Amino acid sequence: MKHIAILGSTGSIGKNALSVVETHAAEFKVVGLAAKRDVDTLEHQIRRYRPALVAVNEPTAAGRLRARIRDINGTQVLAGSEGLQAVATMPQASQVLDGMGGSAGLLPTLAAINAGKDIAFVNKEVMVMAGALVNAAVKANGVNLIPIDGEMSAIFQCLEGTRDPQADIHRLLITASGGPFREIPKAELYSVTPEQALQHPNWKMGQKITIDSATMMNKGLEVIEAKWLFNIELSKIDIVVHPESIVHSMVEWADGSTLAQLGPTDMRIMIQYALTYPRRLSAPVPRLDLQEARTLHFEPVDFEKFPCLSLAYTAADVGGTLPVVLSSADEVVVEAFLNTDIGFMDIPAILGHVMDKHAVVGEPTLTDILEADRWAKSTARSVIKNHTKTTISH
């Protein structure tokens, strides 16, 4: 039986991971959980899975949770970043699923790797911020880093058994649904609301990644993530829009053959594979029925309509701390859009502005990365404060 700790257990990925655990109760034991503040969901999860350790980032929420589970023996609740680190490194866990999302996942992920844990990995922001450091830590500690993110899992699966990926790969093709605004003209994007942007056509996910899908920043972050995960040059990574989200991504080989991974739009499949790798167990998800009349469409991405993509390619190309600034400022800017403080097309405008202001540090240390994260968030906040909301195209 594998013992796992789940960071971000109250979120979309965390709940899907617990559903996988439930399906294969004889395979897994949940020993640790962590979240930011959702005490209601954590209480329910503690009563159901009886983990030894639970971390709640917000200290007041941790206090409330302790009071609620006074009747339960054997579960300790810790608060703040120390609590997160404790769950990420707990001796009872052999694998840590990082389903937190955002820069808050960086230190716990590195701590888990350095504690020798295998990682089921979905937090693309961590790889974007610190891909070189994560890869070095994975190598030094001899652990497995298995992607969950649909596109990364697809490429990981296509690459299995490849002897010399560098020589054999012609390019990676990351598929994109195109998000809710694929068919809307650019001029109309200035006035779209958070409610419209949160209507993803194919996937039900947390708010941050759903807005990133609408701006296509999500694809930009995945390009950077793929560069580090698969140790591949940027020039060999392309995006193709595939509105049906059935092909999760592809690898085109040097000989012109292309391998694709297909499946239903259900994250439990990728989560389960990361937890059982290299085994495949049955999964109670709807099957892909290709005998049903179906057409798969593919089309190029529109860089002009979705400027976040070019920002991400620039960040990846320049490297150093610029991807940190892109990703960390994006967290702040997406939140401002959700709060209706800025318009949809202000997202790339503000991000571009913050990136322009940044003095890039090449080959950053962890300290440089944490400083760039702090700088990017505070600069984004001050740019937003002085920004006039744009709701029409000029």
Q: Does 335 bind ligand NAP (CB under 6 A)?
A: no
Q: What is the SS3 assignment for 7?
A: strand
End-to-end CA, the chain: 60
The residue type found at 374 is R
What's the min distance (Å) between Cβ of 31 and ligand NAP?
Answer: 17
Instruction: Report the C-alpha gap between 306 and 323 in whole angstroms.
Output: 18
Question: Of all helices (H) and strands (E), which one includes residue 79?
Answer: strand 76-79
316-351 burial, b at 16+ Cβ within 10 Å, e below that, comes to bebbbbbbbbbbbbbbbbbbbbbeeebbbbbbbebb
Q: Does 267 bind ligand NAP (CB under 6 A)?
A: yes
What character string, x for contact with ligand NAP (CB under 6 A) and - otherwise, covers 163-202? ----------------------------------------
Element (H, E) at 239: strand 237-241
Using Cβ positions, the residue closest to ligand NAP within the complex turns out to be 11
> Which residues, 6+ apart, have CB-to-CB distance to 6 below 8 Å?
14, 17, 18, 30, 32, 33, 34, 96, 97, 99
* Span interacting with ligand NAP, options 28-36, 133-141, 171-179, 306-314, rule CB under 6 A: 28-36
The answer to the question of residue 129 lying near ligand NAP (CB under 6 A) is: no
**Closest distance between ligand NAP and the C-beta of residue 147, in Å?**
9
Nearer to ligand NAP, 53 or 388 (CB): 53
Least distance in angstroms from the C-beta of 167 to ligand NAP: 30
Distance (Å, whole) CA 144 – CA 216: 29
Compute how many residues bind ligand NAP; rule: CB under 6 A.
31
Identify which of residues 99 and 364 has a Cβ nearer to ligand NAP in the complex: 99
Q: Work out whether 124 is an interface residue with ligand NAP (CB under 6 A).
A: yes
Token pair recorded at residue 175 = 């598929």
Q: In the complex, which residues of this chain contact ligand NAP (CB under 6 A)?
A: 8-14, 34-38, 57, 84, 99-102, 104, 122-125, 149-150, 203, 205-206, 208-209, 267
